[in-house]
Amino acid sequence: MFVRRESFGQYIRSYPVVTTIIVLNLVFFLLLTIPVFPNQFIFQSLAGVNLYIAEGEWWRIITPIFMHSSFSHLFFNCFSLVILAPSLEVLLRKNRFLFLYLASGIFANIATYIFEPLTYVHVGSSGAIFGLLGFLFFLAIYKKHLISSSHAQMIIVVGMIALIFSFTDIRVNITAHLAGMLFGFIYARIIFK
């Protein structure tokens, strides 16, 4: 489930949605970091800023899912996608997987808007990634026949570590992590009712 044995080309062909999401993350990061582009304007126009969302700029609930504040932020989230997402894209197929990813991220950003102050600024795909983790949690707990016991144990351990780290770094949007995970768990419950 988590070990990747495909070549680069096989990975792209086998997991087109995951690949597209990773490419979008990379493109947005390049737009924000390469000095040729008006990167400050792009960041100011697309980052999740609760005050601007309150003033009607609702696209800021979606666009932060594809933006990252640093290379390490981008790397960790893309690495998580490479490892966690392929099995879910296969299990759910393209449309349901894409819905899980985007809806988890949007739900996480809406929760951030509701529970964080108006001055709060947020970027990153971790709310969406925690949605994948929440979905995997559900499988590990309630649908053990779909995954091996060793993978189920690994999901629980990785998920718990991710949650613990969420509370140890003040830069982390804990609200988005918890909301994304909750959405993924509930979505899995709906699919496997």
Catalytic residues: 126, 177
- Phi, psi (degrees; rounded to nearest 5) at 58: -70, -20
d(CA 162, CA 56): 33
Q: 145 burial class (0-12, 13-18, 19+ CB within 10 angstroms)?
A: exposed
CA-nearest of 193, 158, 17, 185 to 93 is 17
Query: For residues 188 and 155, is the Cβ–Cβ distance under 8 A?
Result: no
Query: For residues 17 and 94, is the Cβ–Cβ distance under 8 A?
Result: yes
